[in-house]
């Protein structure tokens, strides 16, 4: 490991450890209390904020920000951890990962995506482009969330869930004027193991999508979906059962 004082022309804070075979663009910036593993790549204008751990062979592309810390609310309920990017993870251009997020190993977060505080992504996941996750959300392993999805926060997404483009989820039954109110931790929906969600689906809060259920494109899901069922429509109704040969 190399102490931060020995680093070249990029900006670097205090208490920084950097591994071997690391490539850091001279325009990158590294904050305080940062650990960077072996073989890491940090592209142009990458900003690593304070209290970040970047494991071996991570690739962080141009203009991405890791450990973003300009939190403007929720301070009272916010749980603070180091931000962790797992081995071999790929963070593509312009993406912002807030502080206290955790990205699992071999996971990709694509371009122009925002993951707010306390978003936890498992291993072997793909988070698409132009995705917004409001945070306080736990995503399992081998999950795919496609582009232009907006996750309202306070969700649980279990392993092997597949989410197509433009899923939108809510985490409050009645919209409210958040800037004036005490922060209430509403619950987003829960998506169980291996469930599959088509394009442009809407999930209301507090509902549960059962194990390996299939939600058809364009469905508005207003209540729980039983395991292995196929739902469709506005509002979504059960129209069938996932056949055996499509089960995990």
Among 45, 138, 156, 237, binds a second copy (CB under 8 A): 45
- DSSP assignments along 142-171, one per residue: S-EE-TT-EE-SS-EE-TT-EE-TT-EE-S
Smallest gap from residue 151 Cβ to a second copy (A): 9
Distance between CA atoms of 85 and 1, rounded to whole angstroms? 18
Among the residue ranges 12-20, 30-38, 141-149, 182-190, the one whose residues contact a second copy (CB under 8 A) = 141-149
Q: Using the minimum distance from each CB to a second copy, give the nearer residue, 37 or 43.
A: 43
Residue pair 53/22 in contact (Cβ under 8 Å)? The answer is no
Residue of 12, 36, 85, 114 interacting with a second copy (CB under 8 A): 114
Q: Where in 194-213 is the site for a second copy (CB under 8 A)?
A: 196-200, 202, 204
How far apart, in Å, do the first and last CA atoms of the chain sit? 43
| Pairing assessment for the beta strands 16-18 and 2-3 based on DSSP bridges | antiparallel
Choices 13-21, 30-38, 50-58, 169-177; region in contact with a second copy by CB under 8 A: 169-177
Question: Is 156 among the residues that bind a second copy (CB under 8 A)?
Answer: no
Among 36, 52, 85, 170, binds a second copy (CB under 8 A): 170
| Six-digit token string for 148 | 């232009």
9 binds a second copy (CB under 8 A): no
Residue pointed to by tokens 């059960």: 238
- Judged by CB, which is closer to a second copy: 17, or 237? 237
Q: Which stretch binds a second copy (CB under 8 A): 15-23, 50-58, 183-191, 215-223?
A: 215-223
Interface with a second copy (CB under 8 A): 27, 29, 44-45, 47, 59, 61-63, 65, 68, 70, 72, 90, 92-94, 96, 108, 110-112, 114, 124, 126, 128-130, 132, 134, 142, 144, 146-148, 150, 152, 160, 162-166, 168-170, 174-180, 196-200, 202, 204, 214, 217-218, 220, 233-234, 246
């Amino acid at each position: 490991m190399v102490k931060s004082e020995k680093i070249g022309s990029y900006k670097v804070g205090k208490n920084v450890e950097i591994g071997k075979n690391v490539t850091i663009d001279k325009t990158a910036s590294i904050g305080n209390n940062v650990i960077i593993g072996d073989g890491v790549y940090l592209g142009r204008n990458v900003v690593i904020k304070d209290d970040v751990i970047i494991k071996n062979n991570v690739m962080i592309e141009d203009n991405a920000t890791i450990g973003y810390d300009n939190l403007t609310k929720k301070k009272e309920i916010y749980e603070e951890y180091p931000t962790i990017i797992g081995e071999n993870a790929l963070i593509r251009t312009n993406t912002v990962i807030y502080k206290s997020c955790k990205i699992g190993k071999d996971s990709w977060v694509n371009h122009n995506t925002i993951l707010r505080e306390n978003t936890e992504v498992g291993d072997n996941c793909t988070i698409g482009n132009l995705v917004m996750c409001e945070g306080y959300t736990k995503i399992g392993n081998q999950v795919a969330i496609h582009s232009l999805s907006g996750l309202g926060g306070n969700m649980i997404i279990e392993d092997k869930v597949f989410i197509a483009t433009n899923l939108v989820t809510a985490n409050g039954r009645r919209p409210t004027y958040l800037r004036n109110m005490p922060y209430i931790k509403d619950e987003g929906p829960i998506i169980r193991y291996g469930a599959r969600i088509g394009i442009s689906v809407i999930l209301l809060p507090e509902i549960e999508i059962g194990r390996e259920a299939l939600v058809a494109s364009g469905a508005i899901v207003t209540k729980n979906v039983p395991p292995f069922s196929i739902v469709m429509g506005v509002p979504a109704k059960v129209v069938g059962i996932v056949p055996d040969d499509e089960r995990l």
